[in-house]
Chain A
Amino acid sequence: MNNDDRRLIAACLAGKASAFGDLVRRYQDRLYNAVFRVVENAEDTADVVQEAFINAYQSLNSFKGDSEFFTWLYRIAFNAAISLKRKRKAVVRLDWDDDDKSNEPVDSAEYTRPGLAMERAEEDAKLMAALSRLSPEHRAVLVLKDLEDQRYEDIADILDVPIGTVRSRLHRARLELRDLLTRNETEIGKSAGTNGKPTTKEKG
């Protein structure tokens, strides 16, 4: 654990609640970003992050300091985020449905427009849509590994599973994501073909 965190935690335990405010400001953006990729809803994310910080504050005495404070905070937040997503599993997301604009055949004119940023945004949207179709557990490992660059050991600690499970879960998650992205690309290609609209390649 780094010294700043240690000092702030000690101050909190000594009764200085404002020191916890420093910890919140230090980690809120990072935690919010990670949780948002699992929960996919700004309001729910804010709730999960807020409750995670409050739980951490109340449980500060039980934090032994043998891991990073942020890893410990992740554990609290990700457990809450995964539980929340499990509860809402019955709610079907429409992002991937046929009426969703992201899946509509793309006008060839779109490709002629300059602007890499727009293309990137579309790619990101597709990726996010694919991620959102993964189970919360698979999404969580991908977020922790690829977005947060955590080691398997830390991911195992955060999700409270063996390292072997992290490895196999990550592998299945990557394959599933690849499958979803491939299907999406295929469906777009088919739709474009049936509509008689040429794709970029066809144009070239």
Chain B
Amino acid sequence: MNSEEIRQLLTAAIDGELTPSERVAAKRLLRESAEARELFSQLQRDSLRIKHVPRVNAPVDLSASIMGAIYERNLSPIPLPPSRSADGKRWTWGFMLATAAGLMLAVTSGILYLRGEQSSKPLQRVNVAVASPEPSADDMPVVVVANEAPPKSVARAIQPEAGPTPREVLPDVMVSPTRPDPGEIQAIQLDAIRLSSFFTVRELPGDATLQSKLLAELKKDELIRLDLFAVNVSRGTDLVQQALRDRGIEVHVDAFAQDRRRKNLATEMVVFTEAMTPDEVAQFLTRIGADEKRWPSPVFDTLVVAPFLPKDLTQLGGLLGVPGMTPNAKSRVDVNKPLPEGTANQVAMTLTRMGSTGSARPAPRTDKVAVVMSYSPVNTTPGASKEVRQFLDRRGEKRPNAKPLMLVVRAR
């Protein structure tokens, strides 16, 4: 029988992967061996059978399932870590350049030093003498090498080499051109730029100054965005929910968030309510701080009060499954007040439209209602959430002074 290498030619021939020389060898093999011809024919038939096996299509919901998993797990392309070899190469190049520069500097310094040495000892070896008893026509001095004393009659005159033309110096520096006047440099007024404020909720109880500062921050925007970092998100969410209930606010917790919590999966939570005025939000946060103090270990870390941005509004719409919750694009952009006037009322009207209307409404509305949802990973189908639906159905007209609050309990 043929050797293994020769037999492999048959497979490569079926696959069309022969080199020219292999093709010659394969042809010879097929011409000379009936056994090879039979095997080639069988393998070719098998290959064709595989090629004609019916194709199986992916389940129709596969792409939705993949994208759902990406959104649910809050995944994104992972940035590449800086390459060590690239760093090393960069360092090597840097080292080589530095060495080269150092060497050049040393050589240049050496040359300059030697020249300086030579120029400091000209009288020992060179005499400058007037070669001719009479000065030359152009009054140029003639340099004569001292140890080769020229005959007085034939002095060798050395003319200076023609060098670059010296830079022209203006006769009077007072009339030199000056740089144009840059004008007055505007100082950046940092205090005029709106920045996020940081608080610690457990420091709020008993500190009136801190509470006032917090209140002032909460009053700045029509909508309030708070990020409350927690050592333990589950416990933190419990404290938040309890504080809401103690204020008489009805809390609806999305089943997706409940399920993740029950399975003890890492989840960040978001609370949305329109039930409180800025004063009440400050009291609510102070209450949370007081509750936290009763725990043996810290529950919360930092509370960040940030300006409510247009993207927060879009995000809120996504969390509640309410499309089109975006600010008016034509409105003027103001870094200190990113959302235009009337946004809170627009949000309220949009949410009202999403709730049940007419006689089909399951329960009377109340202005004291809140919803707790998963912030990360986000529930990709909030529209299907019974609890979000209940919240939208139950929420009543927003009180005039109340501000929509988006409170995110995040992992520290």
List residues of A whose CB falls within 8 A of some B CB.
12-13, 15, 17-18, 20-21, 24-25, 28-29, 31-33, 36-37, 42, 46, 49-50, 53-54, 57-62, 123-124, 127-128, 131, 142-143, 145-147, 149, 151-152, 167-168, 170-171, 174-175, 177-178, 181
Contacts and interface: CB of A to CB of B under 8 A. Distances in A.
Contacts of A20: 67, 70
B53 to A, nearest CB: 6
Q: Which of B42, B49, B59, B77 neighbours the largest number of chain A CB atoms within 10 Å of its CB?
A: B77
20 contacts: A13-B77, A17-B76, A21-B66, A24-B63, A28-B62, A32-B59, A37-B53, A42-B59, A50-B66, A54-B75, A58-B76, A59-B78, A127-B50, A145-B15, A146-B47, A151-B17, A167-B8, A177-B46, A178-B39, A178-B46
A174 B77 contact: no
Given A20-B67, A147-B50, A174-B46, A29 B11 contact: no
Contacts of A53: 66
6 A-B pairs with least C-beta separation: A32-B58, A146-B50, A171-B11, A60-B77, A28-B58, A24-B63
A49 B61 CA distance: 13
Q: Which of B4, B15, B47, B67 neighbours the largest number of chain A CB atoms within 10 Å of its CB?
A: B15
Contact of B80 (A31, A62, A145, A149): A62
A4 B78 CA distance: 22
Contacts of B43: 174-175, 178
Interface string B3-34: 01001101110110100000000000000000
A50 B69 contact: yes
Nearest to B43: A174
B323 to A, nearest CB: 15
B360 interface: no
B43 to A, nearest CB: 5
B54 interface: yes
Interface in B44-86: 46-47, 49-51, 53-59, 62-63, 65-67, 69-71, 73, 75-80
Nearest to B53: A124
Contacts of B49: 123-124, 127
Nearest to B5: A168
Nearest to A166: B17
Given A12-B77, A146-B50, 4 more contacts: A37-B53, A54-B69, A145-B15, A147-B50
Q: Which of A53, A149, A171 neighbours the largest number of chain B CB atoms within 10 Å of its CB?
A: A171
Contacts of B59: 32, 42, 46
A181 B58 contact: no
Interface of B is mostly: helix
Contacts of A149: 51
Interface of B: 4, 7-8, 10-12, 14-15, 17, 39, 42-43, 46-47, 49-51, 53-59, 62-63, 65-67, 69-71, 73, 75-80
A61 B78 contact: yes
Nearest to A145: B15
Nearest to B77: A60
B70 A57 contact: yes
A147 B77 contact: no
A54 B67 CA distance: 8
B64 to A, nearest CB: 9
Contacts of A170: 11, 15
A61 B80 contact: yes
Contacts of A33: 55-58
B8 to A, nearest CB: 5
B66 A54 contact: yes
Contacts of A29: 55, 57-58
Contacts of A54: 66, 69-70, 73, 75
Contacts of B57: 29, 32-33
B11 A181 contact: no
